[in-house]
Chains A and B, each alone.
Chain A
Amino acid sequence: MTTASPRPEVAERPDFDTVFEALGPEIYRYLRRQAPTAEDAADLHQETFLRAFRSYGRLPGNANVRAWLYRIAGNLATDLYRRRRTAGSASAGRLDDPSGTEPGSPHPGPDAVAQAGELRDAVRVALTALSPHQRAAVALRVFDDRPYEEVAALLDCSELSARQHVSQGLRRLRAALEPWR
């Protein structure tokens, strides 16, 4: 067993299981804010990591694994809403909460948002209309209250663009949630 070697740890890519155990819970948390139900969040979680698992070996050595996972998860969540909208209202009924939310639209206009039974549902629907970067930035900064420095590190971007993602995201949310304010 080799211990105390002074090499920087960054050079060493952890195996995928280590990545999964370390980041799995926060990716679930991230997905849970966007998915219509807990069941959907669990499906997306599984799909995110299966996808990541398949391409992990091809990821460049210096890649930011966490940011990469957030991106995959965000894209899959966006896809889910898009798919369900195309699938039509028949299947959309299944996703809804008993409250009668309509989370099927990838770009829910004021109507869809206004139809949401509760502000909480409206927020979830409105979040899905943001770009994955905006969504991730808003979730981390506004909901999880992390400093911009950390948001930037998680999203693998500069602090300035993290700020921009948040302010653009908030602007769009504000427009979408107008009826609730």
Chain B
Amino acid sequence: MNMNETETMTAFERLLRAADPLPAATALEAETARAMTRTRRAFAGARRGRAVGHSLAAAFSIFPAPWGPLHVAASESGIVAIELRSTTPDFVDGLSVRLHGRVVPEEAGEVPEAWRGYLDHGRTQLGEYFAGHRSRFDLPVDLRGISEWDRRVLTGAARLDFGETTSYGELARRIGKPGAARAVGGALGRNPIPIVIPCHRILAADGTIGGYGGGGHGSRVEMLAVKRRLLTLEGCAFAG
């Protein structure tokens, strides 16, 4: 080797990078989503195995949304989860892990009347919202199992009105953590109750659409399509 150490390393690093064993971004994203779902299920299994006196945690129902089925669950204190693009097993497993309890369909006999009441209100209000007849939700929410930071971000997001948007950085500033835009984005991506907690109203600083977790197992493209739809419904301006 005649080249000096630094030059050789750089050329070699380039060679390594060109042979990165990681699949391309879209394929990787799909693989990651699958692996996350599988691991989540394994937790549910592990917890079921160890749980004693596994109690009823939530009841769920499936509402129609303009893009397909919407999974919604209620607990003793209100709406506890919404997933915009999910399957019933994914939704039930994920939620039972978060709540450490069983999640059953609302028709189940053991479901208390009050929980059904929350779901009924949710169904009505979400239907009105999608039809363009409602700009505020009047629903109690249950943020159990959510970290303190996520709660703080979500509470901040919940103060945005219908049709009002802001940026990740600005929301960070409003909740007293200027500079924490990325962490704000992370918390919004984990929003357990999208739409009702309007994380879709937060855009990138340059006015482009930003990201959208939106509670679900849809691909990034599908989730962004939902975010666009919600913003359009609210008459918000956004780029891209």
Contacts and interface: CB of A to CB of B under 8 A. Distances in A.
A49 B37 CA distance: 12
Given A21-B190, A143-B22, A170 B12 contact: yes
B36 A28 contact: yes
A119 B19 contact: yes
A173 B43 contact: no
Interface size for chain B: under 10, 10 to 19, 20 to 34, or 35 or more residues? 35 or more
B16 A123 contact: yes
A32 B22 contact: yes
Given A28-B32, A32-B23, A20 B43 contact: yes
Given A15-B145, A18-B190, A24 B39 contact: yes
Nearest to B33: A25
Given A42-B34, A170-B13, A174-B12, A32 B39 contact: no
A157 interface: no
A142 B16 contact: yes
B55 to A, nearest CB: 18
Contact of B42 (A25, A28, A46): A46
Contact of B20 (A3, A33, A53, A173): A33
A32 B31 contact: yes
A1 B150 CA distance: 13
A111 interface: no
B38 interface: yes
B31 A49 contact: no
A137 interface: no
B97 interface: yes
Contacts of B43: 17, 20, 49-50, 53
Interface size for chain A: under 10, 10 to 19, 20 to 34, or 35 or more residues? 35 or more
A120 interface: yes
Given A32-B28, A50-B46, A119-B19, A14 B97 contact: no
Interface in A1-34: 1, 3-4, 9, 12, 14-15, 17-18, 20-22, 24-25, 28-29, 32-34
B147 A18 contact: yes
A42 B21 contact: no
A119 B12 CA distance: 13
A174 B186 CA distance: 37
A131 to B, nearest CB: 17
Contacts of B34: 42
Contacts of A1: 143, 151, 155
B21 A28 contact: no
A34 B20 CA distance: 10
Nearest to B50: A54
B133 interface: no
Given A143-B20, A181-B12, A29 B32 contact: yes
Contacts of B148: 9, 12
Interface in A109-126: 118-124
B176 to A, nearest CB: 6
A174 B10 CA distance: 12
B31 A20 contact: no
Contact of A180 (B15, B21, B38, B155): B15
B23 to A, nearest CB: 7
Given A28-B36, A123-B16, A170-B13, A18 B46 contact: no
Interface in A123-139: 123-124, 127, 138
Given A1-B155, A15-B147, A32-B23, 8 more contacts: A18-B150, A22-B186, A32-B21, A45-B39, A127-B21, A142-B16, A177-B15, A181-B15
Interface of A: 1, 3-4, 9, 12, 14-15, 17-18, 20-22, 24-25, 28-29, 32-34, 38, 41-42, 45-46, 49-50, 53, 118-124, 127, 138, 142-143, 167, 170, 173-174, 177, 180-181
Cβ-closest 9 pairs across A and B = A124-B21, A42-B35, A14-B147, A119-B19, A123-B19, A46-B39, A18-B147, A45-B35, A120-B19
